[in-house]
Amino acid sequence: MTALATTVSDAVIDRLCSAVGPKGFILDPDLMAPYLLDERGMYRGKTPVVLRPASTAEVAEIVRICAETGTPIVPQGGNTGLCGAATPYEDGRAVLMSLTRMNRVREVDPLNYTITVEAGVILADVQAEAAKADRLFPLSLGGEGSARIGGNLSTNAGGTGVLKYGNARDLVLGVEVVLPDGRVLDLLCGLRKDNTGYDLKQLFIGAEGTLGIITACVLKTFPRPGDVQTAFCAVASPAASVELLSRARTLSDDRVITFEWIGSTAYDFGMRHIPGLRRPLVNDYDHYVLIELAAGSAASGLRETMEAVLADGVENGLVLDAAIAESTAQAKAFWKIRETLPEAQKSEGVSIKHDVSVPISRIAEFIDVASAKLTARVPGIRVCAFGHIGDGNLHFNVSQPAGGDGAAFQALHHDINRIVHDTVVGMRGSISAEHGIGRLKREELQHYKSPVALDVMRALKAALDPKGIMNPGKVL
Ligand SMILES: Cc1cc2nc3c(=O)[nH]c(=O)nc-3n(C[C@H](O)[C@H](O)[C@H](O)COP(=O)(O)OP(=O)(O)OC[C@H]3O[C@@H](n4cnc5c(N)ncnc54)[C@H](O)[C@@H]3O)c2cc1C
């Protein structure tokens, strides 16, 4: 690989600024600051310039200049990522490219069930544009009011609709990408069938900006559900949750769109710290699930289906109690319990987070085994787990023992990560189900990914980005 420039010269900065015009760059350190701190406040980076191109041509021109001068580029969308991937390193050698001005909806095609948008469109706006055409864009997650679709694709975001609709990867039909040499790779088609060789678009999805810059994409849309039924249930155990999910899928003719599990520690934290949260059930239990069923038509008898699913669960000893939302407001109140869990956990001191997945059938075993090992290592540790159990994905977070020494607990993070990740990998699971690798999990990736897989990844990186200018030091 060609050596990267150690500094960005004033001449290069001038060329980059001229490529985007006066509205397209920021040099004032105060105005640059929000782009340089990551969502979790773990990394504060440096850059000589924030570039804000407004078109694919401007992105391409910036990349050409960077390729010619060996200048690293860090792409950024909404800067909501959770592993430091969108933050430049502290050495100030990389320019930051924010895609937020590339925020046009290029086409809505209801008959093709597609929407074509630029990378900087906010995820919630993609959903709203689809809804205007009576279509559903099902990607949905906590940060959707700020995250941009280019960032969602680059992290292969999951969220609450994966069970039914898949990850971001499954929702993309085409992409437009500026390659690390500045050429535009136009794969912007809305085809559901195209067997003309390698599926190149998939290379850039989940690549965290290390292989090129996504400038636009064609996304799949779906019919909007006419009826959604939401229930909050107490369940007997994690194993009962998994069994309930399986039975619910069969009994509802596979109309389960969400299945979220919440352990009692997480639930209790929410009730203790989030103002306005109300208990949906009279008593407290050890395990809860939030289930959502959806159907195309409001006259589909979905309410009765939900009742039948829950009654079957009670009969089989899986469900201990349940409440079905009587209104949209009540459904939102159920969701608020799930969505505010990360916030609630902050009030309980130091938390060490793991975003992991295992096969759905091994979720219960994973929770038992990992919890037992952690308790043996740190007596009093509080496993605050919750997650998209329908996708085999848990946010397996652990909080410091109550009233304990936070710094001493933090100092154990390496041991704790090892316990959790060894258990995950022992079950052929993943150490990063949703959030990606970025900077945070680079060493973990080296430790756990097979050497052959790492070789293939490095070969792809070298083939597409021989100068190593695209988001260097992230992922690999
Ligand atoms: C409150 C909250 C809840 C969340 N819940 C979930 C969840 O349930 N499920 C889930 O999967 N994730 C979840 N996330 C993570 C979420 O998926 C990511 O934060 C989001 O997808 C990143 O989008 P962004 O625009 O903010 O990207 P950024 O943070 O700006 O960037 C993320 C990565 O993508 C790269 N990138 C950004 N734009 C481009 C582009 N156009 N071309 C190439 N590379 C690019 C960056 O370099 C970086 O590597 C959550 C995040 C928050 C804050």
- Our answer on whether the CB atom of 53 is closer than 6 Å to any ligand 1 atom is no
- Our answer on whether the CB atom of 77 is closer than 6 Å to any ligand 1 atom is yes
pLDDT of amino acid 4: 85
User: Measuring CA to CA, which residue among 18, 38, 183, 13 is closest to residue 94?
Assistant: 13
If one counts every other C-beta atom within 10 angstroms of the C-beta of residue 227, the result is 17
Q: Residue 303 Cα, ligand 1 centroid: separation in angstroms? A: 35
> What is the Cα–Cα distance from 12 to 368, expressed in whole angstroms?
56
Q: Residue 152 Cα, ligand 1 centroid: separation in angstroms? A: 5
The alpha carbon dihedral of 199, 204, 205, 206 has a sign of: positive
If one counts every other C-beta atom within 10 angstroms of the C-beta of residue 143, the result is 19
What ligand 1 atom has the least distance to the C-alpha of 102? Answer: 41
If one counts every other C-beta atom within 10 angstroms of the C-beta of residue 41, the result is 7
- Our answer on whether the CB atom of 147 is closer than 6 Å to any ligand 1 atom is yes
- Our answer on whether the CB atom of 213 is closer than 6 Å to any ligand 1 atom is yes
- Our answer on whether the CB atom of 157 is closer than 6 Å to any ligand 1 atom is yes
Q: Are the C-beta atoms of residues 64 and 15 closer than 8 Å to each other?
A: no
If one counts every other C-beta atom within 10 angstroms of the C-beta of residue 72, the result is 23
Q: Residue 236 Cα, ligand 1 centroid: separation in angstroms? A: 34
Q: Residue 148 Cα, ligand 1 centroid: separation in angstroms? A: 7
- Our answer on whether the CB atom of 216 is closer than 6 Å to any ligand 1 atom is no
What ligand 1 atom has the least distance to the C-alpha of 438? Answer: 49
Low-confidence ranges of the chain (pLDDT < 50): 1
- Our answer on whether the CB atom of 150 is closer than 6 Å to any ligand 1 atom is yes
Burial 456-472 (b: 16+ CB within 10 A, else e): ebeeebeebbebbbbbb
> What is the Cα–Cα distance from 418 to 316, expressed in whole angstroms?
37
- Our answer on whether the CB atom of 152 is closer than 6 Å to any ligand 1 atom is yes
Cα 9 to chain centroid, rounded: 35
Residue 207, both tokens: 């690549």
Q: Are the C-beta atoms of residues 97 and 74 closer than 8 Å to each other?
A: yes
pLDDT of amino acid 262: 97
Q: Residue 105 Cα, ligand 1 centroid: separation in angstroms? A: 19
Give 96-145 pLDDT, tens digit per residue: 999 999 999 999 999 999 999 999 999 999 999 999 999 999 999 989 99
Contacts of 473 (CB under 8 A, 6+ apart): 89, 439, 442
By alpha-carbon position, which residue is closest to atom 19 of ligand 1? Answer: 81
pLDDT of amino acid 1: 46
Q: Residue 80 Cα, ligand 1 centroid: separation in angstroms? A: 5
Cα 346 to chain centroid, rounded: 19
Q: What is the CA radius of gyration of the chain?
A: 23
Give 188-200 pLDDT, tens digit per residue: 999 999 999 999 9
Pairing of strands 172-178, 227-235: unpaired
Residue 369, both tokens: 């085994």
| DSSP three-state, residue 274 | coil
Q: Are the C-beta atoms of residues 54 and 102 closer than 8 Å to each other?
A: yes
Query: Per this entry, what is the length of the chain?
Result: 476
- Our answer on whether the CB atom of 435 is closer than 6 Å to any ligand 1 atom is yes
- Our answer on whether the CB atom of 236 is closer than 6 Å to any ligand 1 atom is no
**What DSSP string describes 372-427?**
HHHHHHSTT-EEEEEE-GGGTEEEEEEEPPTTS-HHHHHTTHHHHHHHHHHHHHHT
Residue 309, both tokens: 């699913």
End-to-end CA distance of the chain: 14
pLDDT of amino acid 69: 97
Q: Residue 434 Cα, ligand 1 centroid: separation in angstroms? A: 10
